[in-house]
Amino acid sequence: MKLIVKTIILLSIILPHHIMAQNTSKYVFGTDKPVRSSLFLGPEVKYSSLYGTDQLYGGLKAALLFNQHYAFGLSFGSFLTEAVADAPGSQGDSVGLNTVMMYGGFYLDYITSFNAPVQISFPTVIGGGGVLLLEKMEPNPVSGIQDERVVEGGVYFVLEPAVNLEINLTRTIRIGMGGGYRFIINSDMERFSDKDFSAPTLNFNIKFGLY
């Protein structure tokens, strides 16, 4: 009987510490904290291309994180830099058309935890977006301002998987960087194809939350 009592007491001491050790993340700065489900919000910047020219994309994502592994949320953003390509304008002549492009959708992520300050994540955006092709008009004779007119527009589906390396700076801040590919599907544009809008991406992101 005494052996059983001692065994129960010993297990009651060991098991909670064992369970807590398995549910603990490690950080670059600060002490270990218990794992919990949380909400995180984060800006991101992507380096990509359109028509073979370098472009920057800026976006924002928000998601619920479960068990430090599974994230479900939303992502949205647009290209920040001007992308110009030669294509037929409103008069049929080849002109430089400025491209305005944005996309977003459901944000899914799986994070492989190594019980260390670093881990690998596999984010994917599944959704859609829109694109406008703008042609510069003749400058206004009074104001001198050169307006733009829309010569073509379209919507499309987007699938953007990626692989990121994340660093847990603190319990509330993570930074990540990695690469992926933007697949544009069914853009239904006359002047450009899906391939013209699809391209590899390099990204840098920050996540603010409770981890």
96-118, pLDDT tens digit by residue?
888 999 999 999 999 997 667 89
In 3-state terms, what secondary structure has residue 3? helix
For position 7, what pLDDT does the model report? 43
Identify the pLDDT of residue 89. Answer: 73
In angstroms, the CA 90 to CA 95 distance is 9
β-bridge partners, 97: 85, 135
Which phi and psi (to 5°) does residue 95 adopt?
-135, 170
* 114: amino acid identity, one letter: F
Query: Regarding predicted confidence, which is higher, 24 or 131?
Result: 131
| Residue in this structure with the two tokens 């459901």, named with its chain if needed | 106
Q: In this prediction, what percent of the chain has a pLDDT beyond 70?
A: 77
pLDDT of residue 93: 76
What is Dmax (Cα atoms) for the chain? 101
What pLDDT score does 85 carry? 84
Is 125's pLDDT higher than 90?
Answer: yes
User: What does the block give as tokens for 194?
Assistant: 């899906």
* Contact between 77 and 57 (Cβ < 8 Å): yes
Predicted confidence band at 91 (pLDDT cuts at 50, 70, 90)?
Answer: confident
Mean pLDDT (whole number) for 53-59: 94
**What tokens appear for 127 in the block?**
């959704």
Tell me the per-residue pLDDT of 143-195, one tens digit each, with 9 for 90 and over: 666 677 888 899 999 999 999 999 999 889 999 999 999 999 999 898 999 99
In which band, very low, low, confident or very high, does the pLDDT at 27 lie, cut at 50, 70 and 90?
low
pTM metric for this prediction: 0.77
